[in-house]
Structure 1
Amino acid sequence: MTSPMSSPSIEIRSASPEDAALLAELNDAVHSVHALHRPDVFRSQPAHDDLVPIFKAHLAREDARAFIARSSGRPVGYALAVIVDRPGDALMQARRFISLEHLAVTSEATRTGVGTALLDAVRTSGREAGCSRLITDVWDFNTEARTFYEAAGLAPMRHWLEQPL
């Protein structure tokens, strides 16, 4: 008789500017996929030391929300988001939403609930900030991410089109 496998517990905590080096390290989980499929947009293998100031600046923003996931005591993913306030005008309603900018999960932690836990942290943070929506974007080639987000209840709302010139 086999016993059911228990999945490791997932801990989510807020990130701070002191976590910039850790986020730079975890970033490869998502950046490498982008660089592989769109080398015309994404640089391959950016230097860790070049990424740290980018993450530090993002984490220092007042409108930023960031979370780190740990499983079995090890960091296995992160989420970066920003609160966006759009004023209304003659054409558009005023709105406040949380924009998920990055969601990265290490390969060994995919399909273990880490992405869902990070997404839930972003949702909660958005609700607490008075946001009415969670918005993110996904590159068309990233079918795994699109499948994840759609299974999590996100629906397409806009399509970007491009053409080389």
Structure 2
Amino acid sequence: DWSAISDVVSDIRNHIDWYANESTKASGKKIEEAKEKDKKQLVQSGLDSVINYELSKIQKNTDICHKNEGTVATCVHEILSDILLFHTNNPSVWPQWEFGNQHISRIASRVESRPHAELLLMLQLILPGTNNFYYGDELGMKNLPNDSV
């Protein structure tokens, strides 16, 4: 019965609108992905949360993650130390974490190891704040070969 389904959807939409407009927790929240140099300026302008996109730069055998190292462990440690220091110095800014998104290669492909990718996502779960997971990364999915599409 489409009229009943329409009523349910309408009720859900009304509830979401009410929450967004009336809730003291949801009103006025601003979230943005920011480059490191812009984070402080965005925080001063009243931003409530910053997506820590720096973790999406983690990739084995690159200039960011040492080429002579067999894993990305040192690289992850350095990046997380810097980000956690930023959030320690700015406790009013809620952290959001992501290793991947639709614009970059999957984490398992970047670190060249499904087990390492799974460990990184487990690490992400214990970080303070909110986690953003790119669909499939939680399963250790790798990129498709270019000729398979």
**Could you tell me the TM-score, scaled by structure 1's length?**
0.32
Greater helix fraction, Structure 1 or Structure 2:
2
**Could you tell me the TM-score, scaled by structure 2's length?**
0.34
Give the structure with higher Rg (CA).
Answer: 2
Greater strand fraction, Structure 1 or Structure 2:
1
